Amino acid sequence: MSNTTVPANAEGMPKFDRAAVMRLAWEIYRKRFGGEKRDAASRRWAFSLSLKSAWMTVKWEAKEAAKNAEQKRASEIEALRLEVLRIEATPFRMRLDNDRYDRLQQQISALQRAA
């Protein structure tokens, strides 16, 4: 356990709109488990999963919003490179998207020049 102290009023902790998190959790619950007949324990379990998913979504969105332009460009380049690797991993005779491969390479070089 670390020796870090956390103030009682949680100063410095990120603030989230908890009402929005609950709305999102209920929306996820209705989409995933809405039409099913369940007992109380399984409803609690299903809502627990929905609430965890809502918190993960809200935290991810906050992290993405905090990124600056350079970090966003770097993550976009990384996503494009992963797509290029996926295309390169297919056997040559099965590859039908050579034009997409070339377009991805052009996008990567354009983003690198902009940096």
Q: Would you state the structure tokens that stand for residue 58, as one six-digit string?
A: 């809200």
Can you tell me whether residue 41 is helix, strand or coil?
helix
Distance (Å, whole) CA 88 – CA 99:
13
Enumerate helices (H) and strands (E) in the chain, giving the number of each. 4, 0
Residues in the chain: 115
Average pLDDT over every residue of 56-60? 94
Distance (Å, whole) CA 50 – CA 36:
15
Question: Which pLDDT belongs to residue 38?
Answer: 84
Q: Are 58 and 24 in contact (CB under 8 A)?
A: yes
The domain limits of the chain are: 18-66, 69-114
Q: Is pLDDT larger for residue 92 or for residue 46?
A: 46
**pTM for the complete prediction?**
0.56
- Vertex 104: Cα angle to 103 and 109 (nearest 5): 100
Question: Which pLDDT belongs to residue 59?
Answer: 93
